[in-house]
Amino acid sequence: MSEQLEFFPLQSPCRGICQSDERGFCRGCFRSRDERFNWQTMTDGQKQEVLRLCRQRLLRKLRTAKATSGEEPEQPSLF
């Protein structure tokens, strides 16, 4: 499989919210500590993998937040 050439460097996903959650991931970009500290030395392929993992972590957080909110639509009474 041929590798696609990247014309632009992959930008850091940092959003300036540098706080760790209970699992050790950044609350802003969802990277682990090692992923944040080693970003500058990673290859583009490694950075893409980190970005993929960050998207998965974000989606997982959104799913759990939706499940724990317990907001079910209220059905009006028929009587």
Closest by CA to 39, choosing from 60, 62, 21, 18, is 18
Is the CB of residue 44 less than 8 Å from the CB of residue 4?
no
In sequence order, the β-bridge partners of residue 26 are 20
Query: Is pLDDT larger for residue 5 or for residue 17?
Result: 17
pLDDT score at 25: 95
Is the CB of residue 54 less than 8 Å from the CB of residue 13?
yes
Task: Give the chain's end-to-end CA distance (angstroms, integer).
Answer: 64
Of all residues in the chain, the percent with pLDDT exceeding 70 is: 78
pLDDT tens digits along 14-37:
999 999 999 999 999 999 999 999
User: Rounded mean pLDDT of the chain?
Assistant: 86
Angle CA 56–58–59, to nearest 5: 65
pLDDT tens digits along 57-74:
999 999 988 887 766 666
75, pLDDT greater than 80: no
H/E stretch holding 61:
helix 44-69
